[in-house]
Amino acid sequence: MASVAGTAQATTQGSVGQQKVIFHKAQKKKHKSHRSQRPKKHNENYRGRHRMSFDQTAATYVKAMEGVPYVYGGTSPAGFDCSGLTQYVYAHLGKGIERTAEDQFLEFRPISKQRAWGGDLVFFHVDSNPNSYVYHVGIYEGGDDMVAATTTGSDVQWQNFSWAGDTVTFGTLTH
């Protein structure tokens, strides 16, 4: 007799003039895990499949600051200026950076827009010279978009920076 429902098998035993069917349940083997039963300690440096990179985390975290009012010299969720926002986000994620947009520009490694990742910084220069004074900074989100603290009377917001043309550069600490 063939298998019945995949979990039981039938066998026959002959007895003079009678057949008796006996069902045997398939024995299940207990699965032995290759993992320890002890919980693993959290490794802050792990960047495997399930962890976001620092840049991804920064690009995501800064979005939570949208709507916070612009405050000249502000460095907290009570109010930010542009470099206070970038400094706060990076410090919250464990990377202390300089305070002003110009100092942040000098601290970061310059990269091209093509190499920039969300979470890197976008720097605004007074002219198209990439070494000219930096007056504004934001956290890059991709394309021509960033999150930044803009100006008095406004707030932290997602912005398109294509209006700045060739006066922007990009910087990173991580790649």
pLDDT single digits (tens) 28-48:
555 554 444 554 555 555 555
Establish if 151 belongs to a structural domain. Answer: yes
More confident residue, 117 or 23: 117
Please give the model's pTM, rounded to 2 decimal places.
0.72
**71 pLDDT higher than 60:** yes
When computed from its CA atoms, the radius of gyration of the chain, rounded to whole angstroms, is 30
Note whether residue 14 is domain-resident: no
Is the residue at 93 inside a domain?
yes
How confident is the model at residue 21, as a pLDDT? 53
pLDDT for the residue 78 = 98
78 inside domain: yes
Total structural domains within the chain = 1
Burial 67-95 (b: 16+ CB within 10 A, else e): ebebbeebbeeebbbbbbbbbbbbeeeee
- What sign for the dihedral angle of Cα 84, 156, 130, 172? positive
Question: Alpha carbon of 130 to those of 6, 102, 141, 146, 166: distances in Å?
Answer: 71, 12, 21, 19, 9
Residues 6 or more apart in contact with residue 90 via CB below 8 angstroms: 58, 96, 97, 173
Answer whether residue 72 is part of any domain.
Answer: yes
Flag whether 19 is in a domain: no
Q: Domain containing 157 — which CATH number?
A: 3.90.1720.10
For residue 76, give its domain range.
54-172
112-166 pLDDT tens trace: 999 999 999 999 999 999 999 999 999 999 999 999 999 999 999 999 999 999 9
Residue 104 inside a domain? The answer is yes
Mark 34-60 as b/e (b = at least 16 C-beta within 10 Å): eeeeeeeeeeeeeeeeeeeebbebbbe
Is 168 inside any structural domain? yes
